[in-house]
A and B are shown apart, each in its own frame.
Chain A
Amino acid sequence: MSRGDRSLRVDWPACRARGLCYELLPEAVLLDDWGYPRVIEDPIPADLLADAREAVRVCPTLALRLVPAKR
Chain B
Amino acid sequence: MSILLPLPGGRTVEVAAGLALLAGLDDGPGLGPHVARHGELPRVSAEQLAALAASVNVRGRGGAGFPFARKVAGAVESGRRRVVVVNISEGEPASLKDATLARVAPHLVLDGAVLTARALRTRTVHLVLPGDQPSVVSAIERALAERASAPGLRADGVSWTLHEARPRFVAGQSAAVLELMAGRPNLPVTSWQPATESGHRGRPTLVSNAETYAHVARVALLGPDVVPLSATSEEAGTTLLTLDGDARNSRVLEVPLGTPWVRVLSPDELTSPVLLGGYHGTWASAGALLDRLVCRTDLSAHGLTLGAGVVLPLTEGCPVDRTRRLVSYLASESAGRCGPCVNGLPALAAAMEALHVHGELARGTGDPRTEVLRLADLVDRRGACAHPDGTARLARSLLSAFPDEVEAHLRGRCDFDRSGVRRWEVPA
Contacts and interface: CB of A to CB of B under 8 A. Distances in A.
B338 A13 contact: yes
B378 A12 contact: no
A16 B337 CA distance: 10
B383 A12 contact: yes
A67 B192 contact: yes
Q: Is the interface of A mostly helix, strand, loop or mixed?
A: loop
- Identify the 6 closest CB pairs spanning chains A and B, nearest first: A12-B338, A36-B339, A13-B337, A34-B343, A11-B190, A12-B384
Nearest to B384: A12
Q: Is the interface of B mostly helix, strand, loop or mixed?
A: loop
Given A11-B190, A13-B189, A38 B382 contact: yes
Interface in B271-320: none
Contacts of A36: 339-340, 343, 382
Nearest to A10: B382
6 contacts: A12-B382, A13-B384, A14-B190, A17-B339, A34-B344, A36-B343
A55 to B, nearest CB: 17
Given A12-B337, A36-B339, A65-B192, 17 more contacts: A10-B382, A11-B190, A12-B190, A12-B338, A12-B339, A12-B340, A13-B189, A13-B337, A16-B339, A17-B339, A32-B344, A33-B347, A33-B378, A34-B340, A35-B339, A36-B340, A38-B382
Most chain A beta-carbon contacts within 10 A, residue among B190, B378, B383: B190
A42 B248 CA distance: 47
Interface string B345-381: 0010000000000000000000000000000001000
B89 to A, nearest CB: 21
Nearest to A34: B343
A36 to B, nearest CB: 4
Contact of A32 (B188, B190, B340): B340
A38 B343 CA distance: 14
A25 interface: no
A67 B190 CA distance: 13
